[in-house]
Amino acid sequence: MALAIVLAAVLFALAGIHLYWGLGGRWPGHDEASLVERVVGRTRGMRAPGLPASAAVGLALATGAALVAATLISTAWDPLLRFARWVLFAVFAARGLAAYVPSIFRYAEGTPFATLNRRAYGPLCLAIAVGLLVLQLWMIEG
């Protein structure tokens, strides 16, 4: 139960960060260019993702958080929710592993994003994936 709460909280927090960026927030940068260098990985002529793109990612993350939180209750939708959580696991596992495949993020070489991706973004995605896997396996056993 605690794992579901922690995972849902992390996913809701990530959703909030994406919405913050869409509304003009600049952390972890200090201006648009430094934000792009840290969260997108491009430097020349690239703008920060706008509200529609950021809100879409935020909504996807919030939906993921809701799927995780749904493990705390039993509904007639449980089989569909279980499948959706497996998809969520696959997405986070793929994104986490992608951080260590040089060709995928080659465009970002030399930017702060490249370092953050290997040291923070990738490991965070892998940790979420492992948490989802444990939660799913626990649900099967339970």
The pLDDT tens digits for 15-72 are 999 999 999 999 999 999 999 999 998 767 778 889 999 999 999 999 999 999 999 8
pTM exceeding the 0.95 threshold for the entire prediction: no
- Contact indicator for 43, 29 with CB cutoff of 8 Å: no
Amino acid at 133: L
pLDDT at 142 over 60: no
pLDDT at 141 over 70: no
Q: Among positive and negative, which fits the CA dihedral 20, 63, 57, 6?
A: positive
Strands (E), 8-125: none
**Mean pLDDT on 100-112:** 93
Domain count, the chain: 1
Among 110, 115, 86, 85, residue whose Cα is nearest residue 100: 115
Domain that holds residue 89: 2-141
The pLDDT tens digits for 64-98 are 999 999 998 877 788 899 999 999 999 999 999 99
